[in-house]
A and B are shown apart, each in its own frame.
Chain A
Amino acid sequence: MRHVRKTIGQSLGIIALSAALAFGVNAMRPDGLPLANAASKSSVQLDSAAGEISIKDAAMLFITNRAVFLDARSQLEYEMGHVKGAISLPPREFASQFQDVKPLLAGKEAVITYCDGERCPLSINLAKHLRDAGVKNVYVLKNGWTLWKAEKLPVEAGGKGGAGMSRLPGALAGKTQEGICRDCEN
């Protein structure tokens, strides 16, 4: 019993001493944290003006479940493999499918569009459609699919799109090549 009392007493002493030191030094240092506010910044810093997001930041938002990923490629490519949990929304299907997708965007810090290839315009077009429809915090992950796979981040295959879309665009046969833009206009 004496041993337990001694342990508790010493523990309380250590807690009190560390608290006095911590808050005392924090009050004196110029870069001290405010006590009342939570850290407002996250390890992911999003720049709305730029409209693009790095693979590192996209990955961080993915693993902390703070973003929804929209796959702008064709349904066929989506079914062959996509970012885990991503929703298929090709820009050409935007008008018909956006209402199904819209509820899934609520409550997320970022909506990230991606396609494949450095010059692929699909993700940019989709981002533009989304912004025009009033969606905020839309970011383009340039060359997203290739970078995502290169980083060995979680992927999945099959047609499980969040909005349950299953339409296949017609002429999408042929081999695909990583990093090369498919469905590009030029």
Chain B
Amino acid sequence: MSGLRELVVPWAALAWLLRMAVGGLLLYASADKIMNPQDFAVIVKDYRLLPDFLVNIVAIWLPWFELVLGFCLFTDWWRQGALFLATALLAAFWLALIVNYFRGINVNCGCFSSSPSDDAAPMLWYIGRDALLLCLPLLAYEAGRRARAQDA
């Protein structure tokens, strides 16, 4: 019975699908930030979690980090590292939003757009959405593990 269940769950395909979803998400998220680094730096600063000297450095690097992660997940290149870093990145975003929610700071998420007027929503919406997004790489990791066990 358990053998039958393993047969009908295509873990490898599911892991691939989830990796594509996370990769696509990261590629999409990086595009606008790379195009508008000044605006993204303003959003990073408004989070008020980093010392001033790190704001521009993070604003320059983070969108490219997302781009490279998205590329790796899409092409299955350095998959383990990319999946680990994608999980860490989404967890860091999620924690930053939670910290600011409890500090009473309502920031523009800057998740998919660097424009202050776009993407404006209540903090709890951002926190809920990021929690769901965080599930994607975790599920991809688990599906990958089960796919390897299935192959063994």
A14–B105 Cα gap in the complex (Å)? 32
Q: Given that A6-B80, A14-B82, A38-B52 are contacting pairs, would A23 and B60 also be in contact in the complex, using a CB cutoff of 8 Å?
A: yes
User: Is there contact, CB below 8 Å, between B80 and A38?
Assistant: no
Q: Which residues of A contact B72 (CB under 8 A)?
A: 14
Q: How many residues of B contact A (CB 8 A)?
A: 37
Q: B4 on the interface (CB 8 Å rule)?
A: no
Interface residues of B in 105-124 (CB under 8 A from A): 105-108, 116
- Are B44's CB and A39's CB within 8 A? yes
Among B15-23, B63-71, B127-135, the stretch that binds chain A is B63-71
B38 within 8 A of A: yes
State in angstroms the CA–CA spacing of A6 and B80 once bound together.
8
Which of B38, B69, B81 is most buried by chain A, counting CB atoms within 10 A of its CB? B81
- Interface residue B24 (Cβ < 8 Å from any Cβ of A): no
B52-A42 in contact (CB<8A): no
Given A42-B42, A65-B104, A65-B105: A18 in contact with B80 (beta carbons within 8 A): no
Measured between C-beta atoms, what is the minimum distance from B27 to chain A in Å? 13
Closest to B106 in A: A63
A157 within 8 A of B: no
**Residue of A9, A10, A35, A37 contacting most chain B CB atoms (<10 Å):** A10
Binary per-residue interface labels of chain A (23-54) against chain B in the complex, 1 for a CB within 8 Å, 0 otherwise: 10110000111111111011100000000000
Distance (Å) between the CB of A82 and the closest chain B CB?
18
Q: How far is the CA of A14 from the CA of B84 in the complex (A)?
A: 11
Q: Which of B50-65 contact A (CB under 8 A)?
A: 52-53, 55-57, 59-61, 63-65
Q: Check if A22 is an interface residue, CB within 8 A of chain B.
A: yes
Nearest-neighbor residue (CB-CB) of B81 within chain A: A10
Which residues of chain A are within 8 angstroms of B46 by Cβ–Cβ distance?
A: 42-43, 64
Total count of chain A residues near the partner, CB < 8 A: 35
Residues of B within 8 Å of A39, CB to CB, are 38, 41-42, 44-45, 55-56, 59
Q: A23-B61, A38-B56 are in contact. Are A14 and B85 (CB under 8 A)?
A: yes
Asked, given contacts A11-B81, A13-B78, whether A26 binds B60 with beta carbons under 8 Å apart, the answer is: yes
Q: Is the CB of A31 within 8 A of B37?
A: yes
| B136 CB–A CB distance under 8 Å | no
Interface membership of A7, Cβ < 8 A: yes
Alpha-carbon distance between A14 and B41 when the two chains are bound, in angstroms: 22
Please state if B53 and A38 are interface contacts (CB–CB under 8 Å).
yes
The answer, yes or no, to whether B43 is at the interface (CB within 8 Å) is yes
**With an 8 A cutoff between CB atoms, is A15 at the interface?**
yes
Complex A-B: 14 CB contacts under 8 Å:
A8-B81, A11-B85, A14-B85, A18-B64, A18-B69, A19-B64, A19-B65, A25-B64, A26-B37, A33-B59, A35-B60, A38-B41, A39-B59, A42-B45
A-to-B contact residues, CB < 8 Å: 3, 6-15, 17-19, 21-23, 25-26, 31-39, 41-43, 60, 63-65
**Which 5 A-B pairs give the minimum distances between C-beta atoms?**
A10-B81, A38-B52, A22-B64, A39-B41, A63-B106
Residues of chain B at the chain A interface (Cβ within 8 Å): 37-38, 41-46, 48, 52-53, 55-57, 59-61, 63-65, 67-69, 72, 78-82, 84-85, 104-108, 116
